[in-house]
Amino acid sequence: MERTLALKITERAVALNFERCGIIAVDRMKGYGEKVAARIRRFPESEGMYGRFMAFADPRQQFPWARSVVVCSWRYGVYRVPEGLDGRIGKAYLFDERRNPQSDGYRARTTLERYMTDELGLRVASSHDYGITSCRWAAMAAGIGTIRRNNFFYGDHGSWYSLVVFLTDEEMEYIHVPTQKPCSDGCNLCVKNCPTSALAEPYATCGTACVSFLTNKARNEALFEKHSAQIGEWVYGCDVCQDVCPFNRGQLSGDEKFSGLTELADALSLEKIVAMDYDYLRDVVAPKFWYIEPEDVWRWKRNALFALRNRRDDHYEAALRTAREDSDERVRALAEKLTKGPQLHS
């Protein structure tokens, strides 16, 4: 077991401003497969979503040379949430560094990867978008934090972290002793406050009912409309089960600006989204909030219309008038339906 190498990697990660870095043998990911299978048994309607995560339990299927998983936590709770976006866009997406080369997190990740390959001579695989193995499972196994009842990863500063994983061809481990206290026995706040009851019980989230999925990935309009009254004012993501958590109290310092966000924030009021030019949606909004693909950007308007309806103020009728003149027929049709359809005004 090459501990010196593991120590070098974890120390370099911390020097690059990752809060923690741990390393586990790749075989420790196997337990994740049982977790996914249990989730599918509990929520069979989500099999299509969770089934593809099975491969995460055995990264060696795709990377036969992989021997260890390096996992690092990046604290995004230091960034300021621009006015008007809190409660509308999930913070993990606001501060998503994965496709943002100007962000500190992106630079830290690419620098650490280059260090492992160029200076330490390791073979390394990483995925900058959706991941190559379960980041949360790896982080928990490496002891750099814990998973709470809302299923989110928590480090020393609540749950406001992104996680980065790398596979390497070196057999090594660096496992921390976790320092987080468990959830208190009586606490049920995350489950109780989940707007769609997607978090049906502790540690059990039905992915296809989660507002994050509904607003940024779901292509099933009937499913979206079924939950539309519960989605509230969220247009992309949802933080409710994290916002209500006592372990997140005071953990958003907001000390730093996130690269490129302030300029964009002004454009993202609900009314402005409904009236937004499609070139702007495709060229400016979609590259940052990339879970909604450029060909699906009309869904920003769908989400904003429902959010305005749920807000129940004077701007809704004006937004419906704007949407009825939209260049995309799906937005026009939705506006007509919302204008006429009492069944949607729940």
Judged by CB under 6 A, does residue 92 bind ligand SF4? Answer: no
DSSP class of residue 138 equals: H
Question: Could you tell me which stretch among 70-78, 108-116, 207-215, 318-326 binds ligand SF4 (CB under 6 A)?
Answer: 207-215
Judged by CB under 6 A, does residue 240 bind ligand SF4? Answer: yes
Question: Could you tell me which stretch among 32-40, 122-130, 188-196, 215-223 binds ligand SF4 (CB under 6 A)?
Answer: 188-196
Task: Report the amino acid identity of residue 62.
Answer: Q
Considering beta carbons, is residue 81 or 116 the nearer one to ligand SF4?
Answer: 81
Cα separation of 216 and 298, whole Å?
Answer: 11
Question: Using the rule CB under 6 A, which residue among 88, 148, 157, 301 binds ligand SF4?
Answer: 148
Judged by CB under 6 A, does residue 215 bind ligand SF4? Answer: no
Considering beta carbons, is residue 133 or 251 the nearer one to ligand SF4?
Answer: 251
Task: Report the amino acid identity of residue 133.
Answer: T
Judged by CB under 6 A, does residue 323 bind ligand SF4? Answer: no
CB of 75 to ligand SF4, least distance (A): 18
Question: Could you tell me which stretch among 25-33, 119-127, 147-155, 286-294 binds ligand SF4 (CB under 6 A)?
Answer: 147-155
Judged by CB under 6 A, does residue 200 bind ligand SF4? Answer: no
256 touches 78 (CB < 8 A)? yes
Judged by CB under 6 A, does residue 49 bind ligand SF4? Answer: no
235 touches 304 (CB < 8 A)? yes
Cα separation of 267 and 337, whole Å?
Answer: 26
Cα separation of 335 and 341, whole Å?
Answer: 10
Considering beta carbons, is residue 133 or 212 the nearer one to ligand SF4?
Answer: 212
Long-range contacts of 288-295 (CB under 8 A, 24+ apart): 288/96, 288/99, 288/100, 288/260, 288/264, 289/89, 289/93, 289/96, 289/216, 289/236, 290/99, 290/129, 291/93, 291/216, 291/217, 291/236, 292/216, 292/217, 292/236
Considering beta carbons, is residue 40 or 244 the nearer one to ligand SF4?
Answer: 244
Instruction: Give the binding site for ligand SF4 (CB under 6 A).
Output: 148-150, 183, 187-190, 194-196, 198-199, 205, 210-212, 238, 240-241, 244-247
